Every structure is written in structure tokens, then in C-alpha cells.
């Protein structure tokens, strides 16, 4: 599958945490760099930072939006909030504000929301709330959404780093394969408007 070349230079901003910042890898091995390679007609800006929370992302977002005015924003935050046991109502409010911010800088902006799941030691009740948070945001805002974008790699030890939390270099093309259809749909939606 390829994005039509008639799109011109559309800007895509990725705001994420270590899962998008290629933690433990050369940055060029990460799925975001691979996305840029696969779609050279997109200007991909990776503003992901390892350890980033929704509050940190929210604080940085305005200046990123002012600078890049993205046509597409991939929002991949929330895991670090949950790993710290933070109030998920606050996390959800932060994500909602970020979703609402993008169209203020570029009215055409399409937001893609990437969700994750927590390790089992956080308990089923908290994880259920965490999953519900992403689902609510996606439904409320009619977003392109993947509830668990690491699903194809997360349970395969051969595709994970030693910590069991971060995908290794072999996993990155698999993650891109999972995310790419959402990016393609976002581009098609832009062209339709």
C-alpha cells in the first residue's frame, strides 16, 4: 500500500513516549523513522521523548503545533502516566486537550490515537480503566484509533528488549505495518476535504 503522491508535503507530528522514540535503539531503527522512509512525501516530525507523560506532552504541544502546523498528529501517550499510577481522569483530560489543540493550528488536522496495554502486575481493574480511557477519547472525537498498537510484538519475547516493555529493532517494521493503514486513512481523509 502506498500513500498517493499527489498529497504534496503533508506534515505528520508524532507525540509519544519511549515506544515512539526508539528507546534502546538507534533512532533510525525506530518505527517513526521507518514511516518517514516508507512515505517520503510526508514530512514526519518525531517529537517523542522517553518517559514522557500526558502532562509533559501537553506542555510541549503548543510550541510544536505553532512550529509544524501538522496535517496529521499521532498521539501515543499515557503509558507512563499509568506506570506511575496517576489519576487516569487527569490523563484523559490532558489527552483531550491535546486532541482539541491540533485543529486550532491547522483546521484540517487529523489525529491518530495509539493505545497500549499495561503489564499484568498493574491489576485488571486499573488496566480496564486505562483501556476505557483510550476508547472513550477515540469515540468522543471520532479518531483513527488502535487500542493496542504493540499487539503484534508485545507477547513475543524475540521481538522485545530485555525489559519486556520496549520492542527491539526486529519489531519496528512490524509496528510500522500495524500503524501504516491508519496513516494512509488519515491522508485519504485529508485529500477528501
Residues with active-site annotation? 18, 163, 166
Dist CA 118 CA 112 (whole Å): 20
Residues 155, 159: Cα–Cα separation, whole Å: 8
Tally Cβ neighbours within 10 Å of residue 94: 22
Q: How far apart are CA 47 and CA 11, in angstroms?
A: 13
**Per-residue exposure over 125-137, b if at least 16 CB sit within 10 Å of its own CB, e if not:** eebeebbebbeeb
CA dist 110 and 144 (Å) reads 8
Of 177, 184, 129, the residue nearest 153 (C-alpha): 177
H or E segment to which residue 31 belongs: helix 31-38
Residues in the chain: 193
Amino acid at each position: 500500500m502506498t500513500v498517493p503522491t499527489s498529497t504534496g508535503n503533508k506534515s505528520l507530528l508524532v507525540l509519544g513516549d519511549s515506544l515512539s522514540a526508539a528507546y534502546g535503539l538507534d533512532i533510525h531503527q525506530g518505527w517513526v523513522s521507518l514511516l518517514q522512509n516508507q512515505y517520503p512525501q510526508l514530512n514526519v516530525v518525531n517529537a517523542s521523548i522517553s518517559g514522557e507523560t500526558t502532562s509533559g506532552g501537553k506542555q510541549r504541544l503548543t510550541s510544536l503545533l505553532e512550529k509544524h502546523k501538522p496535517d496529521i498528529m499521532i498521539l501515543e501517550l499515557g503509558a507512563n502516566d499509568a506506570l506511575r499510577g496517576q489519576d487516569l481522569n487527569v490523563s484523559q483530560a490532558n489527552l483531550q486537550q491535546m486532541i482539541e489543540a491540533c485543529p486550532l493550528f491547522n483546521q484540517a488536522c487529523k489525529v491518530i490515537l495509539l493505545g497500549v496495554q499495561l503489564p499484568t502486575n498493574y491489576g485488571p481493574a486499573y488496566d480496564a480503566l486505562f483501556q476505557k480511557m483510550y476508547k472513550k477519547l477515540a469515540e468522543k472525537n471520532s479518531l483513527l484509533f488502535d487500542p493496542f498498537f504493540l499487539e503484534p510484538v508485545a507477547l513475543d519475547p524475540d521481538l522485545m528488549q530485555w525489559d519486556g516493555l520496549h520492542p527491539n529493532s526486529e519489531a519496528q517494521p512490524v509496528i510500522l505495518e500495524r500503524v501504516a493503514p491508519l496513516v494512509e486513512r488519515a491522508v485519504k481523509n485529508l485529500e477528501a476535504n
